């Protein structure tokens, strides 16, 4: 039987969706379909064609197709959901819950109809609650519905640490635990540069400032952009997750995963370290937390549960 290229559909052709489509194609992870609603069909097709015309220069053979028809997403291996509204200055991610939950439900119905065997990655905010919404609506097993936030939050943390130490970002490792909100928990004990614990390299007050900047990292970009939220770093994070699944890389990365007892939580999607590979979330890794870290995580969990309580009824 002929070997076929993988298929990745990106739902939502705004800045994040379009950038994700481009990055996924540039890595030749498969053929990409970029989808948006019918009144965005022209711009979506235009963006996709423009990207396709860059492939000879890039030397990649992934195709990129723009569409407003879910039929074109049929049999996708991975579906990335970026659809929905983004926050503007003065808003919290949680202000988006009602509008985006409705959008998640209608998108998920179509994804399930056309790509019943796909892995779904959810970016839309508030990310923990939206991933939960997609999971419930899809009826997919928990390993096939994965939320994005920890790769992004950790990338921000790693950027700030590398800047502080004037070292390669490649050598900085870290872990951000908890919900994708201002209470997220960068775990300093598990962070290092070149294997050297951060606490040996950076003064505690500076570490605290970096943690605070990481927590507010999305808001910092929203404030600077003035009319939307970050897209380059979110798209890079989504691309890493698509690659981890399609190449079965078994990366240990933080994702928003469904918890059934891990970290003492039940029936909750939350940012935790996971092994992400060819079967989606293959394992949730449980870390031993100190009393202080547990208290910080509890606060973050409470914030996520507050948003969950605001989800519209069925």
Stretch that binds ligand LMR, among 85-93, 99-107, 128-136, 287-295 (CB under 6 A): 85-93
What φ, ψ does residue 9 adopt, rounded to 5°? -105, 135
Cβ-based nearer residue to ligand LMR, 66 or 150: 150
Cβ-based nearer residue to ligand LMR, 35 or 222: 222
Cβ-based nearer residue to ligand LMR, 47 or 93: 93
- Nearest distance in Å: CB 229, ligand LMR: 4
What is the total count of residues that contact ligand LMR (CB under 6 A)? 12
123 is in an annotated binding site: yes
CA distance 259 to 266: 5
Q: Which contiguous run of DSSP H or E holds residue 252? A: strand 251-260
- Nearest distance in Å: CB 70, ligand LMR: 25
Cβ-based nearer residue to ligand LMR, 7 or 180: 180
Residues 174-193 that bind ligand LMR (CB under 6 A): 180
CA distance 51 to 33: 11
Q: Is 262 helix (H, G, I), strand (E, B) or coil?
A: helix
Written as one string, the DSSP assignment of 72-120 is GGTT-SEEEE--SPPP-TT--GGGGHHHHHHHHHHHHHHHHHH-TT-EE
14 is in an annotated binding site: yes
124 is in an annotated binding site: yes
Of 169, 158, 36, 39, which is closest to residue 103 (Cα–Cα)? 36
Residues 194-253 that bind ligand LMR (CB under 6 A): 218, 221-222, 229-230, 234
The C-alpha angle with vertex 64 and arms to 61 and 70, in degrees rounded to 5, equals 140
61 is in an annotated binding site: no
**Residues with active-site annotation:** 180
Cβ-based nearer residue to ligand LMR, 87 or 158: 87
The string over 135-166, giving b where at least 16 C-beta atoms fall within 10 Å of a residue's C-beta and e elsewhere, is bbbbebeebbbbbbbbbbbbbbbbbbbbebbe
CA distance 101 to 304: 14
Cβ-based nearer residue to ligand LMR, 34 or 222: 222
Task: Report how far apart, in Å, the C-alpha atoms of 282 and of each of 41, 111, 131, 249, 258 are.
Answer: 36, 22, 17, 11, 12
Residues composing the chain: 314
Answer yes or no whether residue 87 interacts with ligand LMR by CB under 6 A: yes
Among positions 7, 93, 144, 158, the unique one binding ligand LMR when judged by CB under 6 A: 93
Residues 114-133 that bind ligand LMR (CB under 6 A): 125
Question: Facing residues of 254 across strands?
Answer: 273
- Nearest distance in Å: CB 16, ligand LMR: 9
**Which DSSP symbol is given to 165?**
H
- Nearest distance in Å: CB 87, ligand LMR: 4
- Nearest distance in Å: CB 151, ligand LMR: 11
- Nearest distance in Å: CB 265, ligand LMR: 21
Which residues in this chain contact ligand LMR in the complex, by CB under 6 A? 86-87, 93, 125, 152, 180, 218, 221-222, 229-230, 234
Detail the residues annotated as belonging to a binding site for substrate. 87, 93, 125, 156
Detail the residues annotated as belonging to a binding site. 12-17, 36, 87, 93, 100, 123-125, 156
Detail the residues annotated as belonging to a binding site for NAD(+). 12-17, 36, 100, 123-125
């Amino acid at each position: 039987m002929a070997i076929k290229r993988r298929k990745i559909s990106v739902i939502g052709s705004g800045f994040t969706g379009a950038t994700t489509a481009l990055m996924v194609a540039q890595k030749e992870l498969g053929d990409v379909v970029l989808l948006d609603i019918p009144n965005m069909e022209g711009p979506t097709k235009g963006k996709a064609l423009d990207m396709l015309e860059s492939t000879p220069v890039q030397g990649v053979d992934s195709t990129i197709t723009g569409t407003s028809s879910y039929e074109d997403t049929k049999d996708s291996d991975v579906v990335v959901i970026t659809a929905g509204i983004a926050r503007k200055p003065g808003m919290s991610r949680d202000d988006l819950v009602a509008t985006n939950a409705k959008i998640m439900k209608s998108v998920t119905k179509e994804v399930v109809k056309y790509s019943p065997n796909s892995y779904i990655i959810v970016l839309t905010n508030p990310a923990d609650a939206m991933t939960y919404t997609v999971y419930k609506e899809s009826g997919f097993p928990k390993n096939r519905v994965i939320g994005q936030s920890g790769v992004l939050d950790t990338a921000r943390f790693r950027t700030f640490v590398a800047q502080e130490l004037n070292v390669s970002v490649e050598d900085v490792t870290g872990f951000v635990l908890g919900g994708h909100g201002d209470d997220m928990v960068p775990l300093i004990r598990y962070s290092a540069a070149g294997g050297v614990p951060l606490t040996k390299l950076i003064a505690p007050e500076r570490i605290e400032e970096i943690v605070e900047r990481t927590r507010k990292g999305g808001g910092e970009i929203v404030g600077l952009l003035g009319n939307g939220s970050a897209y380059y770093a979110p798209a890079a994070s989504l691309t890493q997750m698509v690659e981890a699944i399609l190449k079965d890389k078994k990366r240990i990365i933080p994702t928003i995963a469904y918890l059934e007892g891990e970290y003492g939580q039940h029936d909750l999607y939350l940012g935790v370290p996971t092994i992400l590979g060819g079967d989606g979330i293959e394992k949730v890794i449980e870390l031993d937390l100190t009393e202080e870290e547990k208290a910080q995580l509890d606060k973050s969990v409470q914030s996520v549960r507050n948003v969950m309580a605001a989800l519209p009824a069925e």
